[in-house]
Amino acid sequence: MKRQVLLIEDDLDLAQTVVDFLALESIECDHASNGVAGLVLLEQTQYDVLLLDLNLPRMGGLSVCKQLRDTGVDMPILMLTARDQLLDKVAGFEAGTDDYLVKPFELDELVLRIHALAKRRSGQAQVIRFADLEMNLTTHSVTRQGVAIKVTPIGWRLLEQLLRAAPSIMTKEKLEQNVWGDDIPDSNALKVHLFHLREAVDAPFEKALIHTLPNRGIGLKDD
């Protein structure tokens, strides 16, 4: 599958080099030279990975990153920067970046990181959405169609896992491992907690989102 990435970089020579090299690796790369233009492209196209320079005109890389995470964008972000100090890296991770590559970097390494990041969604987003269901990790709240939903602590963890995986299906074993770790309770625990989660998330609404697929697992579906 061909990857599609966005590079937000104000060094035009570097940007052209990256775009041309990625094309040779069958990675389609769009380019924006400032943060504001980058955000416009991000509204128009769904990318696999964002390559984001730290120092940008009009809107800096940290601000772009934070704005994306605050609005629930879970696209992986690779920060590109000449700053190699620990505090700079900490600031990047706190803003929501997933990985860091210090300039000058090897283009082959950039390709490897793109492929690694493209295989997953970011865990840095503060708002997770599926259909009309929304989980806000900052305010620790869940809403559906704008209506507040109360879930138990285990229900929260189950729902977060399902939202992060959606629309993929999670096996029963994977879901239990992610929620309880090595201390998995008796065999009926997951069934009981899922029942209560469905009562909170699905029962008050016309369409059910939480589905159990025989011999496959549990997932969120908006069919």
Q: Which single residue is written with the structure tokens 């599958």?
A: 1
- Let me know if residue 161 belongs to a domain: yes
Per-residue pLDDT tens for 25-70?
Answer: 999 999 999 999 999 999 888 898 999 998 899 999 999 998 888 8
Number of domains in the chain: 2
Residue 1 pLDDT: 59
Range of the domain at 161: 153-220
My answer on whether 85 and 161 are in the same domain is no
Residue 121 pLDDT: 64
State yes or no: pLDDT of 202 exceeds 90. yes
Per-residue pLDDT tens for 92-150?
Answer: 788 888 888 999 999 999 999 998 888 776 566 678 889 999 998 878 899 999 999 99
d(CA 77, CA 60): 14
Rounded to two decimals, the pTM is: 0.60
State yes or no: pLDDT of 177 exceeds 80. yes
Q: Which residues contact 81 (CB under 8 A, 6 or more apart)?
A: 53, 54, 55, 61, 88, 92, 100, 101, 102, 103
d(CA 12, CA 132): 40
Per-residue pLDDT tens for 2-20?
Answer: 789 999 999 999 999 999 9
CATH code for the domain in which residue 167 is found: 1.10.10.10
- Let me know if residue 164 belongs to a domain: yes
Q: How far is residue 34 CA from its own chain's centroid? A: 22
